[in-house]
Chain A
């Protein structure tokens, strides 16, 4: 299948296999098929396809997954730089535009 790949070797995704119980939740929530199962435990198959959305880490009941998640968005990063905060889209009440 034709897949978009962004920059390689930058993603912060980490999986601690020793904590994994093989519940498959990470496979369910991942929008880019980053995970697979080997020997009844999760493995990272396609790390460079990860977009760091954080769904896997958030839904891992064992806390076996770590990823620095955030908005992969240039405007959001500039917003963060200007305000001295983490990258953030300007989507609060009263803002005029958002993704």
Chain B
């Protein structure tokens, strides 16, 4: 279903689709679904050249990847302009990630310029690329290979108008990536679904283990008290993958793994008071270890979603954090299972 295509335009390289610049409810629904990880990897646009308005041989050419959300943000900000969009194949991945992996790269840009005959379509020789494609694209190499000059636009599509008005110049603010609260919140759903394949089985195992007691096994015990470990686990999980990103700048320490322990224990305190961590000291300590370790791991995982963590930094952090997280979680689990047999 390509509701964003409105007819065709005749060009020297054959008919090309003309697209709408306004979002419909389908586009909004699709954007919402992809934020919640639903069909995220299939949300794609067919690579090729698209017309916005009534472009001609002198019109500007914007380049983007084929993740539909990227394409949608671009076209929405081109309203009232006459221009071309060259969509390259980034396997449905957003611009920045694709650039980091190389699929939004020099090779693909050059290949698309050639197979879609861009040089026959327009006489001008400038391409406007999103700034965040620069980790994958070498502007001077594209020029050497195709004659097209790459001009890096602003980070955000919403600044395109100002960028054009300023004569293809982006201000310092438009060139910088910030990571405000709203941006962080938008990323949380995808991180929550990170562990989706374990979300049923792990709680079930804990529910089952809750039936163990010094006398043997009790199904009643499992059914009556088994919800407590499930609550503890989900709380620790969400502390790491939702609370930590939301409160990121306000949680002390720079290492994400330590931030995660802080939030994991922060949510463990009310559970301690509510009694879901158990009765004996050993059981409570075991839960602090498990929840701290789990939250720490999930928080560390959020480095992949941030806009500022370096590979060297994450590698340095993980060298100590990963063993510590595994130790915390296994000690906690072992401690908790032992308490099944000692205390009721």
Residue numbers of A with Cβ under 8 A of B are: 1-2, 4-7, 10-12, 25, 27-33, 49-55, 58-59, 61, 68-78, 87-89, 91-93, 95-99
Contacts and interface: CB of A to CB of B under 8 A. Distances in A.
Given A11-B312, A28-B134, A89-B304, 12 more contacts: A4-B179, A4-B248, A6-B313, A7-B310, A25-B139, A31-B155, A53-B135, A68-B312, A69-B311, A70-B311, A74-B256, A74-B304
Interface stretch (B57-65, B170-178, B218-226): B170-178
A92 B177 CA distance: 26
B312 A12 contact: yes
A71 B175 contact: no
B306 A31 contact: no
Given A6-B310, A31-B131, A97 B303 contact: no
B249 to A, nearest CB: 7
A50 B300 contact: no
Interface residues of B, number: 55
B2 interface: no
Interface in B76-130: 91, 93-94, 97, 99-101
Contacts of A93: 91
Task: Tell me what chain A mostly uses at the interface: helix, strand, loop, or mixed.
Answer: loop
Contacts of A59: 134, 137-140
Contacts of B134: 28-29, 53, 55, 58-59
A78 B300 CA distance: 11
A1 B152 CA distance: 24
Contacts of B315: 77, 87
Contact of A5 (B97, B172, B254, B312): B254
Nearest to A2: B249
A7 B313 contact: yes
Given A74-B300, A77-B315, A28 B175 contact: yes
B293 interface: no
Interface string B18-38: 000000000000000000010
Nearest to A56: B134
Contact of A99 (B140, B256, B304): B304
B193 interface: yes
Nearest to B133: A55
Contacts of B54: none
Contact of B172 (A33, A51, A58): A33
A60 B256 CA distance: 32
B100 A71 contact: yes
Contacts of A54: 100, 135
B172 to A, nearest CB: 7
B41 A98 contact: yes
B194 interface: yes
A11 B101 CA distance: 19
B158 interface: no
Contact of B303 (A50, A61, A74): A74
B329 to A, nearest CB: 15
B135 A55 contact: yes
10 contacts: A4-B179, A27-B175, A32-B308, A33-B176, A53-B99, A55-B134, A58-B138, A71-B100, A97-B37, A99-B305
Contacts of A30: 175
B249 A4 contact: yes
A1 B311 CA distance: 24
Contacts of B94: 99
A35 to B, nearest CB: 11
